[in-house]
Structures are given as structure tokens and as C-alpha cells.
Chain A
Amino acid sequence: RKEVEQDPGPFNVPEGATVAFNCTYSNSASQSFFWYRQDCRKEPKLLMSVYSSGNEDGRFTAQLNRASQYISLLIRDSKLSDSATYLCVVNLRNTGKLIFGQGTTLQVKP
């Protein structure tokens, strides 16, 4: 079983749509949680950290459920520029190591 699992997609949505990505992690020692965005042939860039209380950054909302070991990302009012691969990432306690999910590909179409 992969440590961080994501549906690879692709998710094809029209502009303006709301889309949700899910992620599960298996290691209960996971301490911190993130969503990264990776464009084709580029390095990943931090999109947002994820907290149990839920957090929002503009059109993006992230949620963490520690009991279920489940992380989500909601994108509202999708833009063409949101097309990318979204990586679910966990940081193991006391190691600083980041464990990446396979990524979910989003294609926003006009």
C-alpha cells in the first residue's frame, strides 16, 4: 500500500466548475500536511498547508481529518491556469521527510 494515495485522474472540468481532490495517508506518524502544485516539467510549488481546522486561501480550501487520515482540496471557480498536477504531501514527524502522493491531474477547459 502506498503511503500517500491519490486518484491520478485526469479530472477534466469546464472553467468555473468546482472540483475536489482527495488523498489518504497510511502513516499515523504524519505530522504536517500540504498540497503542492506541479506544472508539466517543472518543480513542485507549495500551494497551501493543511490544518485540522480547515483553511482557505482564495478559491482554494483544504481540509484534514486525522481520524480518517484523509486530506482534501477544493477548488472553486476553476480557471484555465489551475490546470496542473496537484500533489498531496505529508511530513513525517521528527524527520523532515516529505512523502508525496502520485498527484492528481486537473485539466480546466474553456
Chain B
Amino acid sequence: GAVVSQHPSWVICKSGTSVKIECRSLDFQATTMFWYRQFPKQSLMLMATSNEGSKATYEQGVEKDKFLINHASLTLSTLTVTSAHPEDSSFYICSAILESPVSGRRSETQYFGPGTRLLVL
């Protein structure tokens, strides 16, 4: 099946640091990617929809200036957590929708990256 990679898989940083997480679709193009966050013992919560070539769409309550999303190519979306604080410590997961390069038709299935575990000290 389609593969999505994330980098880094984990990061530990000091409070106030900005952290960039990359999400790549391997061997397929994805004009739409999603960013989720999961706190311990809670469900995945959608943070934003990343659209190639345009601004991301943020869910209610998610600060766009804190969580910067850039989707500059058909295979790469990045999430930057700016000035991270301990409460931003979480499991960040991206997903991508497989899109046919010929027809542009999109699959209903979202393919998830392996996640990035962020710990802010």
C-alpha cells in the first residue's frame, strides 16, 4: 500500500525552541495531507488540513501562528511548532490521501505516517 514517512520520529527540545516535522508521501502524490495530535490515552485530534500550493485550513482552537504548515510540493508537508512549550508535548501524526496523477481522483483512504513524538522540557 501507499507509504507515508515522517521525520523525525522523536524529538526532545527545550521550551521556546521551534521544531519542524516533515511528512512525505512516498511514490504517490498527495495534494491534501492532514496533521493530527494525540495526547496520552486520548484520540487523534485533527489539527489542520494541509493543501498543496495554498494555505492550510486549521481546526477550531488550533493556533495557526503557533503551528505553521507548509505544503510546498506534492509529496511534502511540514509542521513547525513554534516556541514549543511543555504542553505541546504530544504525538504528532500526519496522513495523506492517495491521488491518481492521471485522473486526479482521490482515494477515501488516508495513509498515516509513523508519527513524531515531541517532548518539550
- Chain A contacts to B: CB under 8 angstroms: 32, 41-46, 49, 87, 91, 96-103
Contact = CB atoms under 8 A, between A and B. Distances in A.
A43 B43 contact: no
A43 B110 CA distance: 12
A32 B106 CA distance: 14
A110 B106 CA distance: 42
Contacts of A101: 43
Contact of A98 (B34, B91, B115): B34
Contacts of A97: 34, 46, 49
Which applies to chain B's interface (DSSP): helix, strand, loop or mixed?
A: strand
B113 A102 contact: no
Report which residue of A41, A42, A96, A103 has the largest number of chain B beta carbons within 10 angstroms of its beta carbon.
A96
Given A43-B93, A87-B43, A101-B43, A96 B49 contact: yes
Nearest to B10: A41
B117 A41 contact: yes
Contacts of A46: 109
Interface in B92-113: 93, 95, 97, 106, 108-110, 112-113
A100 B44 contact: yes
A35 B98 CA distance: 19
The 10 closest A-B pairs by CB, nearest first: A43-B112, A100-B43, A100-B44, A102-B43, A43-B115, A43-B114, A32-B108, A43-B93, A44-B112, A103-B43
A42 B109 contact: no
